[in-house]
Structure 1
Amino acid sequence: MASHREISVAILDDYPGIAPKHFARLPGIKIDSFPDTLHAATESGIAALANRLEPYQVISTMRERTAFPALLLQQLPNLKLLMTTGARNASISLEAASSHHVIVTGTTGTNSPSHEENYSISDLPPPAAAGSVNQHAWALLLSLCSRIPRDDAALRSEPGAWQSGLAIPLGGKTIGVVGLGKLGTQMARTAALAFGMSVIAWSENLTQAKVDAAAEGAGFAKGAWRAVGKEELFREADVVSVHLVLSERSQGIVGARELGWMKPSALLVNTSRGGLVDEEALLEVVRGGGIRGVALDVFWEEPLPEDSVWRRREGFKSEVVLSPHMGYANAGTMNRWYEEQAENLERWMKGAELVCRIN
């Protein structure tokens, strides 16, 4: 519970600058925004973060942009409330937060409940952000197939540029979905409905029964989609789309071997997490033209460093389309997340029960 003195709030990593308007309505708070991300991967990074954040009682952060390991949390003696987004945040040490009496809360992306009970995130319907991720995955893939970024740049900068290459048709081809959860199922459903693509899927524990259930839930007949082995997926698919949660087990799950299995004409799409794909292996494939193209919304370090090879694209023989982790960053979801944070901060200031507690 907050005292009556002015409460200091730090807003981290709000790149489009939309958070302050949601917090500004609350009396008795002082807001500072820090849109430039500092990383906690090194001791010097943690020291810089601790120096920046030490005065604040409340921190608003966006999931996985700034990490809060134990070493950082122990250097923030004034911190009482750490607000993140989503139902979980693997980059926050919840054990350390609890030991230092820091409350960690999340968001759902749903509308406000009609009462202020302390409810569980699992009791709430999923946020609409899932559709946004699917939309963006297809925007990337279609831009790659239709050469839109390359042709747009050529038309603007090269006099006389016109039809310097050919588009890639998707109709009737095969999409290989790595991870058939909610987002993977949406990707598969769009592929089948919009383009008549065949759907195959793989993950470590995926069975045909689970694939049938996903297909039937998406409006398709049992057996319409196939569960296959990992090698079969990468060898057979014309498009491989990655939809896994990043963990120690899934880190680098798409490596040199898997990329080597892909057809020279195949495309790879990653809108999940950069760490799922071995970056050096992918760079080698892209430089050598081992596959037709790559579409990436996620990277191994975010924001993408100024000197990143992905920005320079020197020597790339495969077609490459990039976006700055925009899959979830739509106006509706982002504004609702910050609105939920402001609502929780107001509850905390009043000494009321908080919602979406994570620790």
Structure 2
Amino acid sequence: MAPTKVAVLDDYKGHAKAYFDTLDPAAFEVVYFPETLLPYNHASTSQEEKDKVVARLEPFTVISTMRERTPFPSAVIDRLPNLKLLLTTGNRNLGLDLEGFKKHNIPVVTSVDRGGPPVAGPDSTTQHFVTLLLAAARNVAMDDLSVKTGGWQTGLPPFGLVGKTYASVGLGRLGAATAKLLHQAFNMKVIAWSENLTQAKADEQAAALGLEKGTFTAVSRETLFREADVLAIHVVLSDRSRGLVTKKDLALMKQDSIFINTSRGPIVVEEDLLDVLRRGAINRAALDVFDVEPLPKDSPWRTTNWGGADGSSQVLLTPHMGYGERFTMEKWYETQVENLLKWSREEELPNRLA
């Protein structure tokens, strides 16, 4: 009997190989695809590029995917007659059309975090968010480049955080976690807005984190952007939140402010944000997420020309690394292999999404 063909997609840093290579090669033929193709369902993807996605995936019985790096809309699922199992990671994967998998009776099994550091503390995404904020505020990337290339003190002066206003679009788990940390560490005033946020809900979030009532203040959308010294995106991408932040919102922000997005790129209208940064209307931005990931080689983000003619604005970019700690990634892939073996033995599959 021929071995089961397994595709491991989009493992940029090679975490998966140590686990999938333990599989019996007589039973499983594993192929690794570390480079992501353009998303099948993105507006800019041509039919030729869509066909490339299908051609890559069509031969495989099992596919391992990492979060939303390769989306699986129903149009892709319908074109994969050999697919019998989809392995994913995290508590959710909004890139998967779960109804499409159910229609074809394809199990979708996820890997969730198993254990972690022995003491409680901020999670990986919160740590990355704070790293970006401090690096943007203190001009770390620009100063590093200046020193390495013969310069000294160049660019914008450091931006102090103490006592400033932290404005969060969304006050869920990550929004509240970053707000607590910044309030306690830098005595920042915390304001927040989302479509369903009330002061009562803001107080509940504060109380759940051991903070006093009124620590988080629910404000109007206009007030949030107008008063922000640091503006952060902390809502989940959905049909409702796609394109939520527009040029109208960004136009309200102070020039001497910091814009940060570690959630998802499409929550912000990309062209509107690019325009603001090209004009230097906002001095600092730090982004971990983008509309299309990985960034195409010709992406307008791949430039150092910001802030108009004087290049005064500073834009800090990282390649969607918020959740990418080694421990988490390795545990996810270890669990994927365990789930693959359970499937092959026709055992019950834990943590099924579909």
Query: Is the TM-score greater than 0.5?
Result: yes
Query: Partner of 2:89: helix, strand, or coil?
Result: coil
Query: Structure 2: any 5+ residue segments left out of the alignment?
Result: none
Query: Partner of 1:312: helix, strand, or coil?
Result: coil
* One of 53, 62, 82 as aligned partner of 1:49: 53
Q: How does 1:295-314 map to 2 (within 5 A)?
A: 295-314=286-305
Match of 2:316 in 1: 321
1:91-126 per-residue CA deviation (whole Å, 9 max, x = no partner) reads 2222221222211111211259xxxxxxxxxxxxxx
* One of 351, 354, 358 as aligned partner of 2:349: 354
Match of 2:126 in 1: 134
Match of 2:263 in 1: 272
Distance 1:165 1:108 in 2: 42
Contact 1:60 1:341 in 2 (8 A): yes
Match of 1:153 in 2: 145
Q: CA deviation at 1:304?
A: 0.8
Match of 1:12 in 2: 9
Distance 1:315 1:138 in 2: 23
Contact 1:293 1:320 in 2 (8 A): yes
Q: CA deviation at 1:278?
A: 1.1
Q: CA deviation at 1:298?
A: 0.3
Aligned residue identity for 2:59: P
Q: CA deviation at 1:26?
A: 2.4
Q: How does 1:192-271 map to 2 (within 5 A)?
A: 192-271=183-262
Match of 1:102 in 2: 106
Aligned residue identity for 1:308: S
Distance 1:244 1:332 in 2: 25
Change (3 A) 1:289 1:163: closer
Match of 1:33 in 2: 32
Contact 1:14 1:62 in 2 (8 A): yes
Change (3 A) 1:196 1:130: closer
Contact 1:11 1:31 in 2 (8 A): yes
**Post-superposition, which runs of at least 4 consecutive aligned residues in structure 1 deviate over 6 A?**
none
Distance 1:9 1:164 in 2: 49
Q: CA deviation at 1:164?
A: 5.3
Distance 1:244 1:154 in 2: 35
Contact 1:129 1:333 in 2 (8 A): no
* One of 65, 72, 77 as aligned partner of 1:73: 77
Query: Partner of 1:251: helix, strand, or coil?
Result: coil
Contact 1:10 1:58 in 2 (8 A): yes
TM-score, scaled to structure 2: 0.92
Aligned residue identity for 2:146: A
Distance 2:146 2:314 in 1: 14
Aligned sequence identity (%): 46
Change (3 A) 1:74 1:130: farther
Does 188-197 or 63-72 show the bigger shift?
Answer: 63-72
How many residues are aligned here? 340
Distance 2:230 2:48 in 1: 41
Match of 1:283 in 2: 274
Aligned residue identity for 2:250: L
Query: Partner of 2:190: helix, strand, or coil?
Result: strand
Q: CA deviation at 1:40?
A: 1.0
Aligned residue identity for 2:218: A
Change (3 A) 1:164 1:70: closer
Q: CA deviation at 1:75?
A: 1.8
Q: CA deviation at 1:88?
A: 2.1
Distance 1:80 1:226 in 2: 49
Contact 1:87 1:358 in 2 (8 A): no
Contact 1:270 1:298 in 2 (8 A): yes
Change (3 A) 1:357 1:164: closer
Contact 1:266 1:293 in 2 (8 A): yes
